[in-house]
């Protein structure tokens, strides 16, 4: 007998900072058979203020009308006939203005001619 398996959400990655674009794709992997998925998106970590609570038959959802300077939390579960899986792990993402944060060097380094140094940064700008 088949059972509904817990999907694995993967995009956007947990804690990602995204730009307030027109839309954002939420994606998850399918494990085994399914008829549909129930997706929930909340603006609070206690899952009391639902922005989205829908049932769909694909493994992605285009989320629109994101509010800048907000954090969203989301989870998904699969439905196969009358069997419903447990909820997936909860992922979150933050909608924020464009940024570039310098990670390394972090200040105080002494560089010399001919030395090799790595420059690292974090950003939500994709281009």
Higher pLDDT, 43 or 61: 61
Cβ atoms of 72 and 95 within 8 Å: the answer is yes
State the chain's mean pLDDT as an integer. Answer: 88
Alpha carbon distance 83, 81 (integer Å): 6
Counting residues of the chain whose pLDDT is more than 90, the rounded percentage is 54
- Looking only at the bridges linking them, the beta strands covering 60-64 and 36-42 are unpaired
Q: Is the pLDDT of residue 34 over 80?
A: yes
> What's the whole-model pTM score?
0.77
Q: Is the pLDDT of residue 102 over 80?
A: no
Calculate mean pLDDT across residues 35-40. 97
């Amino acid at each position: 007998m088949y059972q509904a398996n817990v999907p694995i959400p993967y995009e956007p990655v947990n804690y990602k900072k995204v730009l307030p674009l027109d839309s954002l794709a939420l994606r998850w992997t399918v494990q085994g058979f399914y008829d549909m998925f129930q997706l929930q998106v909340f603006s609070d970590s206690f899952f009391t203020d639902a922005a989205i609570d829908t049932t769909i038959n694909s493994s992605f959802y285009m989320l629109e009308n994101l509010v800048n300077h907000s954090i969203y939390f989301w989870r998904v579960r699969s439905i196969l006939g009358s069997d419903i899986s447990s909820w997936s792990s909860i992922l979150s993402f933050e909608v924020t203005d464009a940024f570039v944060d310098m990670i390394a060097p972090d200040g105080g380094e002494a560089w010399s001619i001919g030395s090799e140094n790595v420059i690292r940064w974090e950003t939500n700008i994709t281009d």
